[in-house]
Amino acid sequence: ALRPIILAGGGAADAAVPMRRLAEALDAPVIMTVNGRGVLPAGHPLGVPCSPAMEATRALIETADLVIAAGTEFGPTDYDFYETGGARIGGKLIRIDIDAEQAMRGRPAHQALISDAALALEALAAAVSPRPPGDGAARAKLARSGVRKALNPILRAGAHLMEVVRDTLPGVVIVGDSAQPVYAGCIDYAATRPRSWFCSATGYGTLGYALPAATGALIGTGRPTVCLIGDGGIQFTLPELGSAREAELPLIVLLWNNNGYGEIKSYMETRGIEPIGVDIFTPDFLTISRGFGCEAHRMKDHRELPALLEAALLRRCPTVIEIVEADYIAAINGQEEPALPAVAE
């Protein structure tokens, strides 16, 4: 193969080390699904932490003469989010999956390897003779830049928000709901390590999921944990603030407020549908949060965010930080993108 690529899904989350060895040996860009983010760390030149459904990532897949798909189901929420049919795989396809039935579903493989992803990738990395660096990094960079250029102002602001959180809180776990910045993260967000980013937006889109899920993630991992949720979604599970407060958890809730169901409303408007049921009543979240015994702030300037995040980690209660969508979008767009962290050794 002259233009190989690797597709990394959630089944490869525990295979980061052999994945990196194989990718570097093959000079192969690695496209990571939402659950596969961080398999190659943020900043790695071969990493493509972007949705495979985007035009630029689809082009990378379609021009590859070999695709190695490790631990990925080829689910439509990752590969065909925009319902365009997904990328056409013209080259040879090798699928690595622990489930024999799953390996036969969806995209037919020229070779299926029924194995734990880490074991298969370790064996492949040991068997492959490293090739000198070629155009792999350039192909990966082209895909990343193409995805970033395709972001609209709302998604660009959401991606910026997630990168600030990542760069401020080392080891952070970000848990997303179905909210505008979460969709941005699904499209374009580079995690520093696996199991650091998950959300409900690529499944059933369950509103309110992020708050209880983030509480569980913080208890289970002990790592800094951020709940990223919208003003519509949080109203489904708002009382869970009480559970987090009772457990004295330093949970950080980033509340993205656009006074309604902004994602659904924009979907309706772009398709000429009369918006209905999306402009909902928005309560005073700061007063409600304080009533639960939580700290609560409305961010006045986006440059305040790192300090607010760091202060929240020191508390023995949740901190709710309300972000007004219109203000953040206006402040962020037109700025240079924050630099990615150095590649983790």
Domain that residue 180 falls in: 152-332
Same domain for 325 and 214: yes
Residues 166 and 206 in one domain: yes
194 and 285 fall within a common domain: yes
* Mean pLDDT of the region 58-73: 97
SS (H, E, C) the chain: CCCEEEEECHHHCCCHHHHHHHHHHHCCCEEECHHHCCCCCCCCCCEECECCCCHHHHHHHHCCCEEEEECCCCCHHHHCCCCCCCCCCCCEEEEEECCHHHHHCCCCCCEEEECCHHHHHHHHHHHCCCCCCCCHHHHHHHHHHHHHHCCCHHHHHHHHHHHHHHHHCCCCEEEECCCHHHHHHHHECCCCCCCCEEECCCCCCCCCCHHHHHHHHHHHHCCCEEEEEECCHHHHCCCHHHHHHHCCCCCEEEEEECCCCHHHHHHHHHCCCCCCCCCCCCCCHHHHHHHCCCEEEECCCHHHHHHHHHHHHCCCCCEEEEEEHHHHHHHHCCCCCCCCCCCCC
Q: Residue 103's pLDDT is what?
A: 92
pLDDT at 345: 41
Residue 205 in any domain: the answer is yes
pLDDT digits (tens, 9 = 90+) for 66-102: 999 999 999 988 999 888 888 999 999 999 999 999 9
* pLDDT surpassing 60 at residue 40: yes
Which residue did the predictor score with more confidence, 343 or 110? 110
CATH code of the domain in which 93 resides: 3.40.50.1220
Single out the residue in 84, 119, 148 at which a domain terminates: 148
Asked whether residue 260 is assigned to any structural domain, the reply reads yes
Weakest-pLDDT range from 39-53, 138-152, 259-273: 259-273
Tell which of 148, 166, 194 closes a domain. Answer: 148
Residue 82 confidence (pLDDT): 80
pLDDT at residue number 262: 79
Q: What integer best gives the mean pLDDT of the chain? A: 93
% of residues, the chain, pLDDT over 90: 83
Whether the pLDDT of residue 280 is over 90: the answer is no
Question: Does residue 339 lie within any of the structural domains?
Answer: no
Over the stretch 149-162, which tens digit does the pLDDT of each residue have? 999 999 999 999 99
pLDDT digits (tens, 9 = 90+) for 181-198: 999 999 999 999 999 999
- The pLDDT value recorded for residue 277 is 87
Specify the pTM: 0.91
The residue with greater pLDDT, 86 or 118, is: 118
Asked whether residue 341 is domain-assigned, the answer is no
Q: How many domains does the chain have?
A: 2
- Rounded average pLDDT over 293-316: 96
One domain for residues 52 and 75: yes
Asked if 258 and 171 sit in the same domain, the reply is: yes
In a domain, 157, yes or no: yes
The answer to whether residue 219 is domain-embedded is yes
Same domain for 246 and 313, yes or no, is: yes
State whether 75 and 127 are in the same domain. yes
* Ranges 61-65, 101-105, 241-245: which has the least confidence: 101-105
Q: Is residue 342 part of a domain?
A: no
For 122-126, 211-215, 216-220, 269-273, which range has the lowest pLDDT when averaged over its residues? 269-273
What pLDDT is attached to residue 335?
60
> What band does 339 get if pLDDT is binned at 50, 70 and 90?
very low
pLDDT for position 281 = 87
Same domain (yes/no): 194, 229: yes
Q: Do 75 and 215 lie in a common domain?
A: no
Residue 344 has pLDDT above 60, yes or no: no
pLDDT at residue 315, rounded to an integer: 97
Q: What is the pLDDT of residues 203-228, one digit of tens each?
A: 777 899 999 999 999 999 999 999 99
What CATH number has the domain bearing residue 219? 3.40.50.970
Whole-number pLDDT of residue 330: 92
Pair (85, 201) in one structural domain: no
From 117, 148, 179, the end of a domain falls on 148
Identify whether residues 158 and 144 lie together within a single domain: no
> Within a domain: residue 251?
yes
Quickly state the pLDDT bin for 334 (edges 50, 70, 90): low
**Shared-domain flag, residues 169 and 254:** yes
